[in-house]
DNA sequence: ATAAATGCAAAGGATTTGCCGTCAA
DNA sequence: TTGACGGCAAATCCTTTGCATTTAT
């Protein structure tokens, strides 16, 4: 995900607009939670976000983080990523994209490749399944984990 | 997954062999748990398996089901499927395959398509990621859920 | 002002774990 | 007999929820 200041700004602007449209209150907690997601490509989980914000917002509670993330997801402001078993992880990148998953450290990196966006699956769907979309997970080792092997 | 009697038999035979090779005891519980997985394409979760076996093995405990599934997975006798948030689900189909996931009822169906087995991703991996394999999830509606919409 | 949002703590579900009795090699 | 295995219950981890209070619009 592009995490340049410009791209982050853009995401935040869109976020404020969408909240207004949706009639969602723009509380400091919500803004802070969204900011964390908008400015990282790390796909943090609820607990990660809670820990990152606790110092600056001491009153913040886990419940709010969970509730807010679920709310954001239901309004398609962020998406939920299921990697391995562990906790759910979140992503503010709403562009069509796929994921590289490190099988060792579980790091998740977005990547885009037009060639993977149109797969020959429509005709392939067996059993009358009606395919709406697809997700590709590339499993492998991130640079850091390659060194440690 | 092919659930014809012949295919199931074949899986069971392989399973027994692998257990012997690995020095794993072939207990009634383990066999029963594997049989459930070998004879269904439903990708049941631990609780599903427990419920299905409880009537025939009243002494069975959840702990054993969980422990056994984890053991199987660590020896690559079954694989763990992460669909949505809910519980982990298991699959005795070890052939290379992908998954159709119903976004409505969460049904998971295996499917194979040679065209999806070689994707143009090797060169695509950004940031020095070393890609070892990939998984394609096709998201859509199963026949039953299409009718209910 | 008023409905919505937060904090807190308790509840919930899925899974793991420790302990002890049991069983098979 | 001896280590592996299963049953049971307690513990753990992640997440949701109810309720009283505070806040955004």
Per the structure, how many domains does chain A have? 2
φ/ψ (deg, to 5) at B32: -60, -45
Q: Find the domain containing A69 and state its range.
A: 5-91
Residues B81 and B26 placed together within one structural domain of the fold: yes
The enclosing domain of B58 has a CATH number of 1.10.10.10
Q: Does pLDDT of B107 surpass 90? A: no
φ/ψ (deg, to 5) at B5: -50, -40
Residues A82 and A108 placed together within one structural domain of the fold: no
Q: Decide if B116 and A121 are in contact by the 8 Å CB cutoff.
A: yes
* Residues shown for chain B: 149
Residues A114 and A63 placed together within one structural domain of the fold: no
Q: Decide if B127 and A119 are in contact by the 8 Å CB cutoff.
A: no
Please answer whether residues A22 and A14 qualify as being in contact, where contact means their C-beta atoms are separated by less than 8 angstroms.
no
For chain B, give the mean pLDDT: 89
Please answer whether residues B95 and B115 qualify as being in contact, where contact means their C-beta atoms are separated by less than 8 angstroms.
no
Q: How many CA atoms lie within 13 A of B37 on its CB side?
A: 29
Residues A102 and A87 placed together within one structural domain of the fold: no
Residues A78 and A131 placed together within one structural domain of the fold: no
Please answer whether residues A112 and A73 qualify as being in contact, where contact means their C-beta atoms are separated by less than 8 angstroms.
no
Residues A87 and A20 placed together within one structural domain of the fold: yes
Q: With bands split at pLDDT 50, 70 and 90, how would you rate the model's confidence at B124? A: low
Domain boundary among A74, A91, A108: A91
Separation of alpha carbons B64 and B49, rounded Å: 11
* Res B149: pLDDT: 66
* Res A119: pLDDT: 76
pTM of the model: 0.88
User: Among all strands, which nt has the closest C1' to B22 (CA)?
Assistant: D4
* Res A126: pLDDT: 75
Residues A25 and A67 placed together within one structural domain of the fold: yes
Q: With bands split at pLDDT 50, 70 and 90, how would you rate the model's confidence at B121? A: low
* Res A128: pLDDT: 84
Q: With bands split at pLDDT 50, 70 and 90, how would you rate the model's confidence at B110? A: confident
The enclosing domain of B129 has a CATH number of 3.30.1490.190
**Residue numbers in B near A119 (CB within 8 A):** 115-116, 119, 136
pLDDT tens over chain A, length 149 residues: 888 999 999 999 999 999 999 999 999 999 999 999 999 999 999 999 999 999 999 999 999 999 999 999 999 999 999 877 789 999 999 888 888 888 888 888 888 888 877 777 666 577 788 888 888 888 888 888 888 76
Q: DSSP readout, A111-134?
A: E--HHHHS-TTTTT--TT-EEEEE
Q: Decide if B146 and A130 are in contact by the 8 Å CB cutoff.
A: yes
Q: Does pLDDT of B33 surpass 90? A: yes
- Cβ of B44 near strand C (under 7 Å)? The reply is no
* Residues shown for chain A: 149
Distance, first Cα to last Cα, chain B: 27
Residues B66 and B106 placed together within one structural domain of the fold: no
Out of A112-126, B51-65, B106-120, pick the least confident: A112-126
Domain boundary among A91, A108, A136: A91
Domain boundary among B47, B62, B91: B91
* Res A123: pLDDT: 62
Residues B75 and B11 placed together within one structural domain of the fold: yes
Residues B86 and B105 placed together within one structural domain of the fold: no
Residues A87 and A112 placed together within one structural domain of the fold: no
CA distances A99 to A4, A139, B111, Å, are 20, 9, 21
* Res A147: pLDDT: 82
Residues B84 and B27 placed together within one structural domain of the fold: yes
Q: How far is CA A48 from the centre of its chain?
A: 13
Instruction: Give residue-wise pLDDT tens across range B60-69.
Output: 999 999 999 9
**Residue numbers in B near A81 (CB within 8 A):** none
Element (H, E) at B134: strand B130-141
Over the range A48-74, which residues count as b (16 or more CB within 10 Å of their CB) and which as e?
Answer: bbbeebeeeeeebeeebbeebbeebee
């Amino acid at each position: 995900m592009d995490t340049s200041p410009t791209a982050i700004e853009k995401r935040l602007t869109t976020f404020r607009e969408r909240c207004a449209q949706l009639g969602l209150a723009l509380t400091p907690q919500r803004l802070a939670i969204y900011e964390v997601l908008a400015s990282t490509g790390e796909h943090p989980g609820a607990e990660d976000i809670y820990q990152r914000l606790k110092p600056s917002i001491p009153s913040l509670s886990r419940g709010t983080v969970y509730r807010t993330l679920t709310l954001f997801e239901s309004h398609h402001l962020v998406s939920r990523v299921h990697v391995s078993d562990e906790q759910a992880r979140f992503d503010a990148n709403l562009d069509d994209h796929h994921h590289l998953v490190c099988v060792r450290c579980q790091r998740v990196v977005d990547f885009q490749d037009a060639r993977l966006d149109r797969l020959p699956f429509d005709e392939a769907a067996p059993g009358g399944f009606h395919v709406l979309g697809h997700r590709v997970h590339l499993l492998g080792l991130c640079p850091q984990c390659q060194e440690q092997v």
